[in-house]
Amino acid sequence: MNEKIVVALTFASAVFALIFALILALKVMKFPEGTDLMKKISESIRKGANAYLKRQYRIVAVFFGVMFVLLGVMAIMNMITPFVPFAFLTGGVFSALSGFIGMKIATLSNARCANACRDELNRGLRVAFSAGSVMGFTVVGLGLLDISIWFFLLKFVFGLEAEAITGAMLTFGMGASSMALFARVGGGIFTKAADVGADLVGKVEAGIPEDDPRNPAVIADNVGDNVGDVAGMGADLYESYVGSIISACALGVAAFHGFSAMALPLLISALGVICSIIGTFFVKTKEGATQKQLLGALSRGTNFSAIVIAIASFPLVWFVLGKEYWPIYFAIFAGLIGGVLIGRATEYYTSDSYKPTKNLAATSETGTATIIIGGLSVGMLSTLLPIIIVSVCILVAYFVSGGASDASRGLYGIALAAVGMLSTLGITLATDAYGPIADNAGGIAQMAGLDEKVRERTDALDSLGNTTAATGKGFAIGSAALTALALMASYIDKVHTIEGGAEKIANLNITNPTVLIGLFIGACLPFVFAALTMNSVGRAAQSIVKEVRRQFKEIVGLMDGKADPDYAKCVDLCTKASLREMVLPTLVAVVVPIVVGMILGCSGVVGMLAGATVSGFLMAVYMSNSGGAWDNAKKYIEGGNHGGKGSDCHKAAVVGDTVGDPFKDTAGPSINILIKLLSMISIVFAALVVNFSIL
């Protein structure tokens, strides 16, 4: 296939996605914002979120500056190509942009969604889903834009070979991952510190409802939803999307030494964008739809996209790779199915329609301790199914791609499975991102004193969002594992191209002590990383708790609604705390692979990457699902079971939910990024390790 056509098609689909996002954004903006009070509240949330992002970018800029100089020096020493530092920067900028745009539209549509819910549920869904789609298509659009522009430059302007092109592209993956990690960790700490702080003092101690305007941390809580669950997730999924595509490109070049294997992931992704756009038109409901019908509407959209891509990628493989390679199609197919199945497993373990969460809710009868123990074991147990699904996925993808006779083709197949899994990201992310918008809308409805019915409607949307978010998490976690394995293979390829590298990486036998020790250290990283981020949430939350308690005590008339709390102070505290706390975990992720490499050498790095991938996958699933199960067990009790709201069971469940918050929204999702960032750092600094390592 002609290279220019491939680039043009990729570029076109990127532009198409971005234009579609723009049209949707304009459509959302036409909805009215509601009462003056609603406007004012939305304005405060927007301000807080903008202020946070501005300060976050300032800190991240320092990191990018330092890395740019470091990479520049390495480029001058000829250890990497001169494109690397620039590619690194663009990856970071585009990742940040994905988060920024997503958050912008989310903060502009929260009041609009609440206002739409005053009319009817369906209207609310349309606002929230459209806003979510803006984010979804911005992420995939920017991703393909970045890839196609760089490919064009490197290939047609600088005339590089395929190997050098994918090498430079992996660097913008590293930029994107670094930015994503900052965004996820910082945002995750912000949102959970505010949430935990608001809940602990407001709900538990003072006994006022969630999102009560008397709670000084309530605005911070809503800001947190935007900077964490929206901006953080945007940067995160930009990274996942781009990472899966470029690792497949890199392995394709290594396995087939030609352009076609590199074109395939690009074209699948381009096709996925189109399918996703069409899919969004299937998300429609009739007036007065039930919760089940709403979910059906969303599922129709994602299912349509998935089925079309499943069918259409078969001829694509046939034509692009040539007919003798048609079985590789099943790698993509395995990825698609795998993503859906992991999502289903997640739903089973975390939705209150199934036994695990119902049983978990029942453990609250015997107190807080038993619901905590129960939630932790649900999470641990829930690792089994995803592990089996991913294992089957790997096995299928490897062998259908011809791994039995040529290992590099098998690894390419694994990377393609990840691309397949994420091909419909445009629409799956839309169904994922609309949740926080509905959540915010609920907050605004409560604070603006709107009718009970409005809150009920936003709650219905929000609870739906929890289910679709479970599916989204399945895709994110599953693709992270597959991409990380693909990147590990890219690392090995990369080392082979460096002089003296082949020798250093000759023994990757699992009984080689450097591999084994790498395995131990790598597997330890997600534990340490999770601990650091949770500690950060704990510390930040404590400062919020103290501040909220102080305001309750010192501001006269606050509890009677006669005086306003100092919202800005809480937002400011969260901002400062989360920015301070996000630095260490991220630095750990950047520094450790270099240090391990310098001591244990390349085989140690491979062991480390394998260990981190395996244990990171487990920890991410464990933590996300424990958190999800606690959250929904609490909602289940609030729905009138085991004594309902205000009962002892409910109090126990609130504690569970609070513990689950940093589990599922800070540590869990960050680990997905961590395992890929480790590989990318290793790839970029491979030359350093080959030349200067001790062992």
Binders of a copy of itself among 578-607, rule CB under 8 A? 606-607
Does residue 407 bind a copy of itself (CB under 8 A)? Answer: yes
Among 244, 368, 479, 575, binds a copy of itself (CB under 8 A): 368
**269 in Cβ contact with 140 (< 8 Å):** yes
542: amino acid identity, one letter? Q
Rule CB under 8 A: which of 505-534 touch a copy of itself? 508-513, 515-517, 519-521, 523-524, 527-528, 530-532, 534
Contact 233, 134 (CB under 8 A): no
Provide the minimum distance between the beta carbon of 662 and a copy of itself in the complex, in angstroms, as a whole number: 6
Regarding 298 and contact with a copy of itself (CB under 8 A), the answer is no
CA angle 691, 412, 619 (to 5 degrees): 80
Nearest distance, CB of residue 396 and a copy of itself, angstroms: 10
For residue 418, count CB atoms less than 10 angstroms from its CB and return exposed for 0-12, middle for 13-18, buried for 19 or more: buried
Q: For 209, which DSSP code?
A: P
C-alpha to C-alpha distance for 291 and 303, rounded to whole angstroms: 18
Q: Residue 56 or 215: which CB sits closer to a copy of itself?
A: 215
What are the backbone angles phi and psi of residue 412, rounded to the nearest 5°?
A: -60, -40
Asked if 535 is part of the footprint of a copy of itself (rule: CB under 8 A), the reply reads: yes
Site residues (CB under 8 A) for a copy of itself, limited to 166-225: 196, 200, 204
Residue 410 lies near a copy of itself (rule: CB under 8 A): yes
Window of 13-21, 145-153, 362-370, 466-474 that interacts with a copy of itself by CB under 8 A: 362-370
Number of residues that bind a copy of itself (CB under 8 A): 78
500: which residues sit within 8 A by CB, 6+ positions away?
A: 690, 691
363 binds a copy of itself (CB under 8 A): yes
Any contact of residue 675 with a copy of itself (CB under 8 A)? no
394 lines the binding site for a copy of itself (CB under 8 A): yes
**Residue 369 binding a copy of itself, by CB under 8 A:** yes
- For a copy of itself, the binding residue among 79, 253, 341, 489 (CB under 8 A) is 489
Nearest distance in Å: CB 588, a copy of itself: 10
Of residues 170 and 200, the one with the C-beta less far from a copy of itself: 200
String marking each residue 605-644 x if it binds a copy of itself according to CB under 8 A: -xx--xx--xx-xx---x----------------------
Rounded to an integer, what distance in angstroms lies between the CA atom of residue 347 and that of residue 486?
A: 27
Minimal distance in Å, beta carbon 368 to a copy of itself? 5
Residue 212: DSSP 8-state: -
Residue in 387, 555, 568, 594 binding a copy of itself, rule: CB under 8 A: 387
Contact flag: residue 70 with a copy of itself (CB under 8 A):
no
Q: Closer to a copy of itself by CB, 368 or 428: give it.
A: 368
Rule CB under 8 A: is residue 378 a binding residue for a copy of itself? yes
Q: Kindly tell me which residue out of 45, 217, 245, 488 binds a copy of itself, with binding defined by CB under 8 A.
A: 488
Positive or negative torsion for Cα 409, 415, 419, 420: positive
**CB of 455 or CB of 634, closer to a copy of itself:** 634
669 binds a copy of itself (CB under 8 A): no
What sign does the dihedral 465-468-472-477 (CA atoms) show? Answer: positive
Cβ of residue 378: shortest distance to a copy of itself, in angstroms?
A: 7
Q: For residue 563, what is the DSSP state?
A: S
Binding piece for a copy of itself, criterion CB under 8 A, among 21-29, 317-325, 404-412, 669-677: 404-412
Q: What is the footprint of a copy of itself within residues 536-565 (CB under 8 A)?
A: 537-538, 541-542, 545-546
- CA-nearest of 455, 183, 424, 161 to 312 is 424
C-alpha 329, offset from chain centre: 26
Binds a copy of itself (CB under 8 A): choice among 299, 370, 647, 691: 370
Torsion of CA 162, 166, 168, 169, to 10 degrees: 140
**Contact residue for a copy of itself among 66, 373, 559, 595 (CB under 8 A):** 373
> Beta strands of 272-370 (E only): which ranges?
none
CB 428 within 8 A of CB 33: no
Could you tell me the smallest distance in angstroms from the CB atom of residue 51 to a copy of itself? Answer: 26
**Interface residue with a copy of itself, options 411, 482, 637, 681 (CB under 8 A):** 411
Residue 372 contacts a copy of itself per CB under 8 A: yes
Task: Retrieve residue 244's tokens.
Answer: 């899966």
Would you say 460 or 659 has its CB closer to a copy of itself? 659
Q: Does 355 bind a copy of itself (CB under 8 A)?
A: no
Which has the closest alpha carbon to 356: 369, 345, 340, 342?
345
- Is residue 290 a contact residue for a copy of itself (CB under 8 A)? no
Where does residue 479 rank: exposed (0-12), middle (13-18), buried (19+ CB within 10 A)?
Answer: buried
CB of 529 to a copy of itself, least distance (A): 9
Q: Is 492 exposed, middle or buried (0-12, 13-18, 19+ CB in 10 A)?
A: buried
Site stretch for a copy of itself (CB under 8 A), options 4-12, 97-105, 172-180, 368-376: 368-376
Positive or negative CA dihedral for 386, 387, 392, 393? positive
Distance CA 627, CA 620 (A): 11
Q: Are 374 and 360 in contact (CB under 8 A)?
A: yes
**Closest CB 686 distance from a copy of itself, rounded Å:** 16
380 binding a copy of itself? (CB under 8 A): yes
Burial class (CB in 10 A: 0-12, 13-18, 19+), 207: exposed
Measured CA to CA in angstroms, residue 683 lies from 41, 91, 177, 302, 477 at distances of 46, 15, 13, 34, 22
Residue 118 or 550 with smaller CB distance to a copy of itself:
550
Which of 29, 69, 77, 388: binder of a copy of itself (CB under 8 A)? 388
